[in-house]
């Protein structure tokens, strides 16, 4: 049976609000050793994602991470994965969309994030040295 997203995803879902600064987001992502944060904006766009690449692009463009907010750099047109997707389905969605993280939804709630690294780890048979599955979610 193919490996499923639920078997590879990190169930640590770092959630932040749209008003978090990029510096705050980077600090939280670094502390939890994750490459993406789920941005919950119940007033406007719903669920979005802010990735390390988004922060890097903003800083590289000369923007001030103390002043820039997550809302200004969040991807809101997100492709979501189901926990029951195969890793092949997740990899195809990532390759087609040109991104490295998928938010995993179950009953419209974020339950995990699966990354290219998670997929490669599962396919290579190498255990996760930094298992984040049991860490407390924010």
Task: Report which of 44, 38, 57 is spatially closest to residue 101, judged by C-alpha positions.
Answer: 38
**Mean pLDDT of each 10-residue bin along the chain, 138 residues long:** 87 93 97 94 84 97 97 92 97 95 93 94 79 43
Provide the pLDDT for residue 133.
Answer: 45
Provide the pLDDT for residue 41.
Answer: 84
Beta bridge partners of 69: 21
> Which domains are present in the chain?
5-124 (3.10.580.10)
Q: How far is residue 65 from each of residues 25, 55, 60, measured CA to CA in Å? A: 9, 8, 10
Provide the pLDDT for residue 6.
Answer: 95
Provide the pLDDT for residue 130.
Answer: 56
Provide the pLDDT for residue 103.
Answer: 96
Provide the pLDDT for residue 12.
Answer: 82
Residues 6+ apart with CB under 8 A from 117: 35, 100
State the chain's maximal CA–CA distance in angstroms. Answer: 48
Provide the pLDDT for residue 116.
Answer: 95
Residues 6+ apart with CB under 8 A from 12: 32, 34, 112, 113, 132, 133, 135, 136, 137
- pTM (2 decimals)? 0.85
Provide the pLDDT for residue 138.
Answer: 41
């Amino acid at each position: 049976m193919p490996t499923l997203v639920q078997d590879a995803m990190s169930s640590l879902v770092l959630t932040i609000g749209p008003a978090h600064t990029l510096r705050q987001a980077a600090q939280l992502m670094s502390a939890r050793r994750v490459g993406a944060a789920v941005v919950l904006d119940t007033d406007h766009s719903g669920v979005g994602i802010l990735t390390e690449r988004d922060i890097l692009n903003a800083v590289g463009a000369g923007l001030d991470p103390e002043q820039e907010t997550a809302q200004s750099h969040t991807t809101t047109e997100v492709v979501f994965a189901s926990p029951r997707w195969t890793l092949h389905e997740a990899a195809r969605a990532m390759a087609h969309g040109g991104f490295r993280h998928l938010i995993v939804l179950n009953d419209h709630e974020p339950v995990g994030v699966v990354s290219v690294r998670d997929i490669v780890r599962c396919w290579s048979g190498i255990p996760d040295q930094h298992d984040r599955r049991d860490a407390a979610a924010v």
